[in-house]
Amino acid sequence: MSQTATAVSSSTLTLAKALNAGLRAAMEADDRVLMYGEDIGPLGGVFRVTEGLQARFGADRVLDSPLAESGLVGTAIGMAMRGYRPVVELQFDGFVFPGFDQITQQLAKLRSRSHGRVGLPVVVRFPYGGGIGSIENHSESIEAYFTHTPGLTVVSPSNPHDAYWMIQQAVASPDPVIFLEPKRRYHEKGTVRLDAPGRDLHEAAVVRPGAEVTLLAWGPMVRTCLDAATVAADEGRSVEVVDVRSLSPLDMTTILESVGRTSRAIVVHEAAGSYGPGAELAARITEELFYVIESPVLRVTGYDTPYPPSRLEAEWLPGVDRILAAVDRSLGY
């Protein structure tokens, strides 16, 4: 373990600082790792996730880019084809669409087009989701666009420990990873165990055991589900919470084991409900556990509208009360 990583090993870190430490560790471990993005150098990025990395590794490994997301992703593809391992930062979720063609039509497909001979070890990171009082194009949950694209791994950490480990695992992946960072959780603190191996990048985690119903969530909604489970416990109900962590591929083993125990499932996500990840999870659970589940798989999601003005986002985003109402409905069957 590097000297720098050891220096922060006993600290309680915010999720943003854990990402910074994970990126630092990945760059120290492999000289081929480069970072590229808008204002990630001296400024350290919009949310300061890359703060201090250019000073540590130099401007030839931590590069400020023009405001051109398509060119930014395309450049990373070229770097990867020349043997580098680029980590691209996009400033906000809604800014990814100028680079969407490069990601879905080029980055995701070269492994298949080359019959497995050429992989692209590129990580595309960006903050996603709402909850910070921001507006449309700055609060999107667009995971479904990428999970629908074969060739992309899509993951999201929900806590500082996972953020530290998952970003390093993503950088080490031989194929492209879309790394979704829950911006409303950037400043929440937690223990990062630098001396303990993290879970596999694609492994889900039971973060609160329970017996009556399973809540399935990822990224920002895991904390909200844990809060709902605590309130439910005060009301005498036992709710299990599963942090899905990897949206593509899904760890259906852990998910099905949990729902098999509780016989009820509720999927919670910020993205709009129609055609969202909750629909996929509901279908898979129903196919596999049709004779086990005792109620329909329910969804608690954002609404099928554009992201609202900041004064309305507390009503738009799934909260504890909406989750508890779904728990009541599930247990009422």
Tokens for 167, please give them. 């970003």
Does 138 participate in catalysis according to the annotation? Answer: yes
HSE at residue 176, side-chain half, CA atoms within 13 A, is: 30
Catalytic residue, candidates 115, 138, 187, 269: 138
Residue 180's contacts (CB-CB under 8 Å, 6 or more residues apart) are 93, 126, 128, 129, 143, 154, 155, 156, 219
Side chain identity at 136, as an amino acid letter? E
| 169 contacts: CB under 8 Å, gap ≥ 6 | 198, 200, 201
CA separation (Å) from 297 to 8, 42, 221, 290, 327?
A: 42, 47, 17, 10, 11
CB atoms < 10 A from the CB of 140, how many? 24
Residues contacting 271, CB < 8 A, separation 6+: 141, 142, 143, 144, 277, 301, 302
Q: Which sequence positions are flagged as catalytic?
A: 138
